[in-house]
Structure 1
Amino acid sequence: MKGDTINTLDLAEPTVSEALHARRSVRGFLPDPVSRETVERLLADASRSPSASNTQPWRVYACTGEERARLCSILTALHVAGGGGHAEEYPYYPSEWREPYLSRRRAVGKALYMHLGIPKGDEQRMSRQYARNYDFFGAPVGLFFTIERGMQQAAWLDLGMFLHGTMLAAIGAGLATCPQQAFARYHRVIRQHLNIPETEIVVCGMALGKPDPSEPANELRTLREPVSSFASFKGF
């Protein structure tokens, strides 16, 4: 397996391949503002992502400034208080973990906490680190992604491609992202704050901004399996 070795800060005009290798989940951002024009351009680029019969089922809700700060304060307080009975609307992880997925999940968690200097079993510090999700890890822009209720698997696949398109577009603009399913738990609060209708499912959030090179968590480089482990070829 090999890790992501390309730094987003070193890419002025990345190729598609460079952007794919540079993309990673950044967990520490600089406070530098990102303009609405930039966000709109990134989303316009991402909207070229494929979708079933060109249905384009994605919806995006962006926030920054005081609106973002107020929402983050509410969500962080809820997390610190134990969640207040909030729960996500859809199953995200499997009900029972099995290999090789369990080992991969454990490995990335262990590596992250190692970079942060959090020892195994330190639940208090782990919880504080998790709470940073609800401040978008300091990113100036928060994005929320939804799809309409009643849409089937095709829409979820389409949204996934749109999410990846957004992340790659950010790389091209010298920015970084962190896709965050953690927000789904508080969909009721997010829905009320951002006027998201009940007809839509809050799937996830995403932090957007310039990566902080001094953040220890950003030293993490996750590993990938070689192609030979997940692909088969016939007739080549």
Structure 2
Amino acid sequence: MSQNPTAPAVTDAASVDAAITSRMSARAFLPTAISRETIEHILTVASRAPSGTNTQPWKVYVLQGASRDSLVDKCCAAHDALRADPSLAEQYREEYDYYPPQWVSPYIDRRRENGWGLYGLLGIGKGDKDRMHLQHQRNFRFFDAPVGLMFTIDRVLGRGSLVDYGMFLQNIMVAARAQGLHTCPQAAWNGFARIILPHIGAGEGEMLVCGMALGHADPDDKVNGFHTPREPVSSFTRWLD
């Protein structure tokens, strides 16, 4: 795996582009097991992500088998209880704001397009709260992926380390594509950190960053046909001469 980092270009640029552009948030997985060697390889590649002064702020917990299934049961039960009694929301607060407290355009427009595009594909109507709840709960089943990943960070670190963390997470998703696998990064887990952190054995100083599903995407499930659009370069780039 060692390469010359100062080489002018990688030897197969098309494969790099394909790994990035074929990445998607898969929401249905096959039960096919993933070997520890494959997961370790993905994490080894991903660990080359940059971080300020090489702090490498990531901590990863890999859940498979009984540990995965037990966490799924705990969080699905909490999700159901929260729906039955919304006052429990105070117990399940995210430790950091992943989303803004107040949405504005164009972000709220993209969010709505994403949500209704997905629900429309699945035939879930605007007022169908039961099916919405069940679909949201798919997050807490890792969308049936055999591997669940939980990511934590030490609370003593600054917000810049979350920027570093994002690059690490992207590396995992791209490296997974190189192995023929798919992922789904999930901030949905963050509200259940008080359940997750003790379950995975995280230290008192750790904060949950997000979760991620990893596995073989189910090619026959229509939900994996949902691909979100991207803005053209011209809409987010300003050229200065």
| TM-score of the pair, normalised by structure 1 | 0.92
Matches within 5 A, 1:70-149: 70-82=70-82, 84=88, 85-149=91-155
Amino acid corresponding to residue 169 of structure 2 in structure 1:
L
**Aligned equivalents of 1:18, 1:142: Cα separation in 2:** 24
Aligned pair 1:165/2:171, yes or no? yes
Amino acid at match of 1:200: E
Of 138-147 and 213-222, the range deviating more from structure 2: 213-222
Q: Which amino acid aligns with 1:52?
A: G
Counterpart of 1:210 (choices 209, 213, 216) is 216
Determine the structure 2 residue equivalent to 1:10. Answer: none
Amino acid at match of 2:161: A
- Distance in 2 (alpha carbons) for counterparts of 1:168 and 1:86: 31
Structure 2 CA distance, aligned partners of 1:234 and 1:185?
42
Q: Aligned partners of 1:202, 1:153: CA distance in 2, in Å?
A: 14
Q: How far off is 1:82 after superposition?
A: 1.1
Q: Distance in 2 between matches of 1:91 and 1:154?
A: 14
Which residue of 131, 148, 162 maps to 1:156? Answer: 162
Provide, for residues 136-177 of structure 1, a one-character-per-residue CA deviation record: whole Å limited to 9, x for no partner.
Answer: 000000000111012112210000000000000000000000
The equivalent of 1:56 in structure 2 is 56
Q: Give the secondary-structure state (helix, strand or coil) at the position aligned to 1:77.
A: helix
**1:197: how far off?**
0.8
Aligned equivalent of 2:7: none
Q: Number of residues paired by the alignment?
A: 223
2:199 to 193, 196, 200: 193
* SS of corresponding position for 1:143: strand
Q: CA deviation at 1:127?
A: 0.5
The Cα shift of 1:216 comes to 1.8
C-alpha distance after superposition, 1:81-136 (max 9, x if no partner): 11643221111111110000000000010110011111111111000000010110
Match of 1:24 in 2: 24
Following TM superposition, the consecutive aligned residue runs of length 4 or more in structure 1 with deviations greater than 6 angstroms are: none
Give distance in 1, aligned partners of 2:47 and 2:14.
19
Structure-1 separation of matches of 2:112 and 2:64: 33
Are the equivalent residues in 2 in contact too, given 1:59–1:147 (CA < 8 A)?
A: yes
Matching residue of 2:6: none
Equivalent position of 2:40 in the other structure: 40
Q: Which runs of 5+ in 2 are unaligned?
A: 1-12
Looking at structure 2, the residues matched to 53 and 216 of structure 1 have their Cα atoms a distance apart, in angstroms, of 44
What amino acid sits opposite 1:74 in the alignment? K
In structure 2, distance between residues paired with 1:225 and 1:71: 37
For 1:223, what is the secondary structure of its paired residue? coil
- One-letter amino acid of the structure 2 residue matched with residue 228 of structure 1: S
Q: Would you say the 8 A contact 1:146–1:202 is kept in 2?
A: yes
The answer as to whether partners of 1:148 and 1:200 remain within 8 angstroms in 2 is yes
CA deviations on 1:39-88 (whole Å, 9 max, x unpaired) are 11100000011111111111100110111011101111110111643221
User: Normalization by structure 2: what TM-score?
Assistant: 0.90
1:76–1:134 contact (8 Å) kept in structure 2: yes
Offset, 1:14: 6.4
